Every structure is written in C-alpha cells, then in structure tokens.
Amino acid sequence: MTMNTQTEALERDAASAAHDGMQYDAHYEAHEAHEAHADHLAPGLAMSAEERRAITRHTLLALISGGLLLLSLAWPHLVQGDATLAQLLAAAASIVVAPPVFAGAWHSLKSPSLHGVTDRLIALAMLGAWAVGDMTTAALLPIVMTFGHALEERSVLGSQEAIRALGRLTSGIVRRVSATGAIEEVAYDALRPGDLVDVLPGARIPADGCVREGRSSVDNGPITGESLPQDAAEGASVYGGAINLDGPLRVEVTQVGEASTLGKVVELMQRAEAAKPPITQALERYMDAYLALVLLIAAIVWFVSANASAMLAVIVAACPCALVLAAPATAIAGIAAGARRGMLFRNAAFLDKIAEIDSLVIDKTGTLTHGELRVTQMAWQPGVNEARARALAVRLAQGSAHPVCRALVRDGLNAEAEAQAQDVHDLRELRGLGVHANTRNGEAVLGRDELLAQYVDALPSAPAEFDGPRAGLVQNGKLLAWFGFADTLRAEAREALADLRALGIAREALVTGDRADVAHKLAAQVGIATVVAQALPHDKLDYVLREIDAGHHPLVVGDGLNDVLAIKAGSTSVAMGERGIDIAVASADVVLLADDLRRLPDCIRLGRRCRRIATANAAIGLTWTVAVIALAALGALGAVATAILHNVGTFVVIANAGRLLRREDHEQHATSRRTPTHEPS
C-alpha cells in the first residue's frame, strides 16, 4: 500500500466520521443496492471498489512476502550450512512485495505530491538494500510500512465500515403511494420530486419533502446536529435521512439525490477533503528540495561511516509521513467534528482562518431574526370571545399565502381544529387588502385598515404600540381584534453574541437593509453598538472592506442575496443554510445547517482547537522525523527499526488529531445529559 492511497483513505475516514453509526437497512436482500447507492451518493467520502481491491492486494502480497521472509530466516536452522537458499528466499520475498512500492514511486514521479516523497524514498531504500545484498531489509521495509498503514486506517479517525454510513442515511426500500392510493415498495433511487411516500414510526425519511398528512416528532440530528427532536405536522419541511420517531407521516418528495440537503452535505464534504491545508501547500513547494537534502545526508553518512545500513536507515527515517499528516489529519478531524454539530466547512483553510476572527459583521433579517413575520401583539375588543375570534382569524388566514396570513396560521396551530369547525364559506382573497368570507354570523374580513373601513362604520384605531405590520378582524360589522406582526429575534441570539464576546470578539456591527429605527431597536436588544441601516449590497461590501483595511479579521454572517458581496469579501463568512438562498450558501466559507446562532462561537472554538492541535502535530512530526534521522545517521538504528519508529510517529499524530472527535463526542454527551427529554406530541 502506498502512502498516497493510505492518506486519501484516512481523509475519507475522517470526513465520513461526521455521521458515524447512522445506518438503516429496511430489507437485507436490498443490501447490495444500498451499497451501490451509498457509493453513488458519496463517491468522494469512501474508497472506491478499485481502491479497496488494491489495498487487499497489497496486504496479500505483504503476507506472502512475510511468509517467505520467515522461511528464509528459519531455513539455516532447519538445514545446516545452506545459506544460499535462505538468501534466495529473502530475495523472493523482496521481489513479491516490490511491485506496489515501485508503482507508487512511478506514479509520484508522474503526479508529484508531498505523499509521493515517501513512496520514492522507500523505493530508493529497497534499491539500496538490493545493491548491498541486504535482501532481508529489502523485504522487511515495505512489509512494515504496508502493515503500519493498514493499522492507521483503523485508527481513531474511523473505520472503513463507517465510510458509507452517510450515503446509507437515505438508502433502502421506500413505501411509495401510487396514483390509485395503493402502497408499493420501491428502491430509493426510484423516487422523484412530487412522489408521495409513507414513513412509519422508527423509519428514516427517504428524501427532502413536505408533510402532507400526519403529525410526529422528527430527529434531525444526523443532518443538522440538533439535539432535540422537532415536531412535524402538515406543511412542515423534513430532511431526507432524519428519523421519524412516533407517528406515521405521508410526505411529498421535493428534492432527491444531489439536490437534497444530504446531497449538498456530501458535496461540501467532497470540497472540504479535496482542499489542502495551507501548511500542506507550503510543504509541497519544497518537496523536491527536501528529497535532494535527504539523499545528500544519506550519501554523507555512507561516505563518512561506510555503513550501508546507516545510509538505508537515514532514507527510511526521512519519510515525512508524520509531518505530512500533521495538518491534514487535524483539518479533516475538525471538518468531521463540525459536521456532527451542523457546521459545514468548505475546506480546511477556513478552519485556520476562523481562528483569527476578531470582529463580527452580521445581517438582521433571517440571521439575527427568523426572517418571517410572527404574531407579536394582539388587542381584543371588549366582550370578544378570544378563542373563537382567534379560530376565525386562522380560518380566514388559511385562504391566503400572504406573510401576515401565514404568520396567523402558524401562531394558531392550537386553534386549528376549532378553525376548521367554523362555518365559513365563499372564502376569497382580495389582493393587497385581505380576505373576505361569509359566516352564519355575517360577513367576516381579515386585512388592512382600508378593507376593514368598508365593513365597519366607525373603525376604532389600532393601538399606538402597533408600529409594524398589522391586520384587523371584523365580523358582522364589528371589529373583533387587532393583530401586530414583526420579524422576531431568534431565541438564542443574545446567548450566542454573549458567547462571542467571551471569546474576545467585542467588535460587532449590525449591517442591514432595514429601516434605522427597526435596526437600532433590535441592536439594543442584543447589545450591538454599531449599526449600519438601509444598507445596499455595495454598502455592506464597503463596510467589510473598511474593517479589513483597518487590520481586522471580520466574520461575516448572512443569508440573503444582499449579503453575497459581503460574504465573499469577509475574512471568513457564515451562511444560514436552512433558510438561506442558494447563492449565499454557495458563497460562504461555513454553512450552518440548523440556523442556530450558537454554532457561531462553536465554529470559532473549533477553529482555535484545530490550530492548537495542528501546531502541536507539526512540532511532533518535525521533531520526531529529525530525531529518527539523527539516530539513524549515528548508526543507532537499523532500517527496519527506523521503519517501525516511523509508523509510531504517524500513530501519535493521528491520535492527537483524533482528540477533536473524542472531545466532540464528550461535549455532545454532556449536552444530551443537560437537555430535557422530549415528550412526543
């Protein structure tokens, strides 16, 4: 097995570890179809069948070579005085295991990379061992390296069985509702947008969709990292791969495959693992000089000591596996740890950049706020039955898709049953004004002042504190209620910003296209002093550029089209992925799947931990490599012992990077213990 193949597999292990253990197979006989679907959905996150065959082939060759080598070592004791055959057996052992080594070295010459340095050094060491007649060393070196790399693949960053777990979140047999209403079992790949599927309690939702019938609790944890299940009723959006907990649902499929939320997660993971950390890019620029330096040192050792074994040991010791893996192992572990919490980093470089953040530039609508109107104020007229009036308002609001009506419907879910029982007919929407209907108690209208004035002789004024959008409810010529609406602050916003300040990010600015009075009022609620209101996209860009020119590293957080320029210009940017528009999500460095602002401080803490561990890993890798080279040059280590120490250094670096995942598991466990148990609705 070559160093290049091993490292690529290691990176894929870590990326897939973000959803380790999330597996569900509806029918055992469909297992092969599931595997094919998982490979198709996440081709970059798991080794291909060809790569797996290559690893198996290399391991088999190493086992055969090891058997021949053991026989060569035992032969002189079995047949006294016959050393020639023992040497031939050792030579055969080295020849058996040589093809993968030289194939890797040749590939690295055609496609130079930092990983290829190891392949070339091992190939040179084998040639040197053959040249001096040390067949045992020529066979042992690739055997030790092969088994060392095989063990690394089963390290703390995940196992091969977990690699396809992400793809299997939406694999299996699906209960599709046919045009006649019959239930038919089909493969996941047969689903298309517009299909209706039945999802039983305990089953995974097969694709992104909208609930058309039923009510249940849904666990979005595998997709968004949310710790609490979410209620799902008619009209609610659900993610493919989420778990339906306690009630049957009928879901209309809206997105499948690469267009689905899970497909976008896979795409982000592929981009992340394809990108190289900055330190890796720097090392690659000097890899040829490093190789020349190693050969020069080996030549000097041979010239001074006339010790061929010491020369071979220097070449093996110089294999920079620990140093090469120092940054990538940490970065991929960090990406996996972030994905477990619903934070998707586009590549490893952003983990390093987010650790430098010292200021915050945040949008209002859809970012600090929910991005949709909600009922915030209600003023009932004297003598009105509030429950019945609310049910009537909800029933009328169901006749329009206006944001005010949608807010009333969301707010009145508890009154939905009573609303349906209302004797309402001839319901029609009056564009730009409101909704009109006939009831057994007379005409009913819901809408603007202008519409209400047509049905009430002396319309009472709305309360003075209703300074935002409002709607009135009238029945039989009598005003029943006023409803006030606003885009409300997210519940976690204050906590998230306080956490950011605790991390040293005290420079904050609210930059929004909304009115100045609305912006200042919201900023005061969360403690933001700097406000830029009525800002156009280029105004937001100018503010971010001024922050950068002043020497700051701003974190830009937004969700809409007017945020895209600022998002692209920021030192690091975060997009709200749940409600954010596609272009904003595509432009940002980090995507928050659950639109939870508490993930912002989590991102910065994770970036800082990654930087500390990457620095420690680079120091460990460099120190370890230099120390082993020095011992080899002094003749204190043979080539085989050096190869073993080389693998030990690699294990240390990988285990240190794995602390990110273990700490993430510990934090999630602690969070789940603090979070109250969800009661099914």
CATH code for position 183: 2.70.150.10
pLDDT for residue 207: 85
Residue 297, beta-bridge partner list: none
Instruction: Answer yes or no: do 357 and 499 share one domain.
Output: yes
Count up the domains in the chain and report the number: 4
Looking at the structure, do residues 484 and 495 belong to the same domain, yes or no?
A: no
142 and 56 in a single domain? The answer is: yes
Q: How many CA atoms lie within 13 A of 493 on its CB side?
A: 22
Q: Does residue 386 share a domain with residue 365?
A: no
Closest CA to 293 of 318, 270, 271: 318
Mean pLDDT, contiguous 10-residue spans, the chain (681 residues): 40 37 34 41 50 75 84 78 78 86 81 72 82 78 70 47 51 83 85 90 86 85 63 83 84 83 65 58 74 86 84 81 75 79 76 84 87 87 88 88 86 58 80 88 91 89 85 92 89 92 91 87 91 87 90 86 78 74 68 84 90 87 87 84 82 84 58 40 32
Domain check: are 214 and 133 in the same one?
no
What pLDDT is recorded for position 115?
Answer: 64
Does residue 2 lie within any of the structural domains? no
Q: Which of 273, 292, 381, 380 is nearest to 335 (CA)?
A: 273
Same domain, 392 and 434: yes
359-362/507-511 β-pairing: parallel
288 and 240 inside one domain: no
Contact between 72 and 93 under an 8 Å Cβ cutoff? The reply is yes
CA angle in degrees (0–180, nearest 5) for 38-41-46 = 60
Are residues 232 and 299 both part of a single domain?
Answer: no
pLDDT for the residue numbered 583: 60
- Domain boundary among the residues 563, 583, 606 is at 606
- 111 shares its domain with 183: no
Q: Are residues 204 and 236 in the same domain?
A: yes
Q: Are residues 383 and 434 in the same domain?
A: yes
pTM over 0.75: no
Which has the closest alpha carbon to 323: 13, 8, 652?
652
Euclidean distance between CA atoms 398 and 417, whole angstroms: 13
pLDDT value of residue 673: 44
Domain containing 136 equals 48-162+276-336+614-673
Question: Which of 464, 489, 514 is at the close of a domain?
Answer: 489
Q: Please tell me the number of Cα atoms within 13 Å of 26 on its side-chain side.
A: 21
- Report the distance separating Cα 221 and Cα 342, nearest Å: 8
